[in-house]
Amino acid sequence: MKAGVLYKNESHLKIEDVSVPEMGLNDVKLDVKCCGVCGSDIHMTIHKQVRLKYYPCILGHEASGVVKEVGENVTKFKKGDRVVVSSGLGCGKCKYCLGGRHNLCAEIEVLGYRMNGAFAEQVVIHERHLNILPSEIPFDQGAILADAVSTPYHALKFVGKIQEGDVVAVYGCGGLGIHAVILARALGASKVIALDVDKGALENAGRYKADELVDIKSVKHSGKTLRELTDGVDLMLDFSGHYSNVEDCIRAMNPGGRMVIAGIGKNPLQVNFPFMLIDRQISIAGSLGCDSRAIPELIELYMSGKLDLSTSITSHHPLEDVNDCLEDLYHRKGNPIRFIITPNGGI
């Protein structure tokens, strides 16, 4: 099969023929229909900031497809089923996995990062990491449920514990944060403020019906600006990885407010207002990926008519265009949200 393979010390994928993966008794083989191009893929390639578990490795972690073959012990899926793949793959045996919290598993594997991914014509995966994709959900929108949508959903609902009527501030409106904007509204937020330094990202947030758009470069203190725009913030989410946003926002937080850090950055997290943090009983928590609850709930949200992801799909591309997509995403050419790779030639 053809696949996009990353070799050590290379900044671009090589499109080449590789062996079709072998199957285990509990595995499912998929024909990959769609795979999203994510900012994380840039960190592994162009940025070279993320080292993989092994090289060479096939990238791609936001995948949907059609079941081609099932292992002898597979009971939940059959040939021809439409499915979306969970990008985080726990061991299946620890207390976290058994409790449906595989993103806390110490041995978690990530598709296209710690195991071969879905920039390929086929992928083999354990059945417990698949979800049936209803025919009403297109393959391209189903694919991005695996990360671009499920990661901010987890941060909002299960870590941030969003409540009806909350005022939500979203720092960083790239591939993850932009979906936090639409999800916050779908989950009952009364007001959503989008903050970024990139005008294109803010334009996207405006199309996703953010109530206020804040260009952080144009304000001295984002927390003060948030106070001017609201009566206070109940839930703050940072997808930018700039931890200074946390301290900036503390003074805008309401009592009992929650701050969720989902963006990964290099600089240390510093809080110079500990009494304010204690007095207002503000909590700060980290959020990574999602657990087994997210994708099924997102499918239900989509089917209810509360979630429309059609505007998230920037364009479709054959596997041979994956490096061009990575470059265009890196340079923000055309203000993209999600490029979709179609390894088998269309959806």
* Domain containing residue 172: CATH number: 3.40.50.720
330 in a domain, yes or no?
yes
Q: Examine the domain organization and report whether 269 and 303 are in the same domain.
A: no
What is the span of the domain harbouring residue 321? 2-149+290-341
| pLDDT tens column, 275-334 | 889 999 999 999 999 999 999 999 999 999 999 999 999 999 999 999 999 999 999 998
155 in a domain, yes or no?
no
| pLDDT tens column, 61-99 | 999 999 999 999 999 999 999 999 999 989 989 999 999
Q: Examine the domain organization and report whether 235 and 268 are in the same domain.
A: yes
* Domain containing residue 41: CATH number: 3.90.180.10
Q: Examine the domain organization and report whether 59 and 189 are in the same domain.
A: no
347 in a domain, yes or no?
no
Q: Examine the domain organization and report whether 282 and 294 are in the same domain.
A: no
Q: Examine the domain organization and report whether 173 and 141 are in the same domain.
A: no
What does the H/E/C string look like for the chain?
Answer: CEEEEECCCCCCCEEEECCCCCCCCCEEEEEEEEEEECHHHHHHCCCCCCCCCCCCEECCCCEEEEEEEECCCCCCCCCCCEEEECCEECCCCCHHHHCCCHHHCCCCEEECCCECCCCECEEEEEHHHEEECCCCCCHHHHHHHHHHHHHHHHHHHHHCCCCCCCEEEEECCCCCHHHHHHHHHHCCCCEEEEEECCHHHHHHHHHCCCCEEEEHHHCCCHHHHHHHHCCCEEEEEECCCCCHHHHHHHCCEEEEEEEEECCCCCCCCCCCCHHHHHHCCCEEEECCCCCCCHHHHHHHHHHCCCCCCHHHEEEEECHHHHHHHHHHHHCCCCCCCEEEECCCCCC
pTM (two decimals):
0.95
| pLDDT tens column, 230-274 | 999 999 999 998 888 888 899 999 999 999 999 887 778 878 777
Query: Which of 270, 286, 302 marks a domain boundary?
Result: 286
